[in-house]
Homo-oligomer: A and B are copies of this chain.
Amino acid sequence: MTGPRLTPLARSLPQDVPFVGPETQEREQGFPFRARLGANESAFGPSRHAIEAMARAATEMWKYPDSSSHELRHALAARMGAAPDQVMVGGGIDGLLGTLVRLTVAEGDAVVTSDGAYPTFNYHVTGFGGVLHKVPFREDAEDLDALLARAGEVDAKLCYLSNPDNPMGSWHSGAVIEAALDRIPDGTFLVLDEAYIEFAPDGTAPRIDPEDPRVIRFRTFSKAYGMAGARVGYATGARALIGAFDKVRDHFGMTRPAQEAAAAALADDVWLGEVQEQVALSKHRIGQIAQANGLTALPSATNFVTVDCGGDGDFARAVLKALGARGVFVRMPARPPQDRCIRIGAGTQAELDVLAEELPRALQDAREAAPA
């Protein structure tokens, strides 16, 4: 015997991972990054109330978490205009997406997404044996019409849309999404990932009745609330679906300190406003740095700026590599033609000083590595 008998599906899956984390990169390259601008984290950190709540909760970490995330869930429901049983709290959008896919996608089931959209969603679909159908971006935005058309063609169970989009930073208005919902093929369910919604212009969030049977929406404390390391996301949707999460989820999977910190963060709108302001300033400066280097910053409704490096994917990959070697952690879109860009997070002014210093050198490195 050579170990347990894995399922045929498990045997068939690759062992690669959706993202290599910056710590892993730092260990491999042997030095720390000077600017951590690649994971769309909030360099401005969480509310001090969230920090204090976590520090207080540390003394209580001997207790299992509240399996229903009662207080946080009720506060989120009030914020979302939903009932508490229309809200599910989970370990980040990543974890919640995994549970949704597990509930809906059996081996061979069709799922539609954009080619180059969130890899972790794809990872879950593949991990449960689903078949991904990918639609190209259109003018650097997720192409709603094409997504819906493909969903109808392949009888997709799920159709993924992030709004605003990662990695391009583009967005659709809420009205456009509301109208799309009315055209969604029968049997297809919309997975609306709003991880970046707090950075988007007013009117970007569609008005959706939580009981709407056509869609579930996901939000997170990882971005605007600065709590990526605490793993708190939430879903709002119809009671029957939210209730179905209880069939398979890890009921005691949340950490108690994160539950407390998230509740405190949610109550601190002043800090949220400050972060939004800092992110806007940071994005403006990234645009200036791009322009000073002859590059084009794309419009962004997120906490990052996607910058067109003016060449092809190989050139952008060379820029990314050169930035990494110079201590600047960024990431980039995976698929052409979006892979002509690199994606730069809204960092602190100190980090952007490093970027301003290293970007021209990295561009020079990249041009020397692959002369035109």
Contact = CB atoms under 8 A, between A and B. Distances in A.
Interface of A: 1-10, 13-15, 17-21, 23-24, 27, 36, 39, 41-46, 50-52, 54-55, 57-68, 70, 91-92, 94-95, 98, 100, 102-106, 109, 127, 157-158, 186-187, 189, 213-214, 216, 222, 226-231, 238, 240-241, 243-244, 246-248, 250-258, 261
A244 B6 contact: yes
Contact of A24 (B68, B187, B256, B257): B68
A105 B7 contact: yes
Contact of A229 (B61, B109, B238): B61
Contacts of A100: 4
B248 A10 contact: yes
A7 B62 CA distance: 37
14 contacts: A1-B213, A3-B213, A10-B104, A10-B248, A13-B248, A45-B61, A54-B55, A54-B61, A61-B228, A61-B229, A61-B261, A62-B227, A63-B229, A230-B255
A54 B55 CA distance: 7
How many copies the complex holds: the figure is 2
Nearest to A57: B229
A94 B252 contact: yes
Nearest to A69: B23
A187 B6 contact: no
A302 B173 CA distance: 57
A222 B252 CA distance: 12
A14 B61 contact: no
A25 to B, nearest CB: 11
B62 A43 contact: yes
A13 B102 CA distance: 12
Contact of A27 (B3, B70, B186): B70
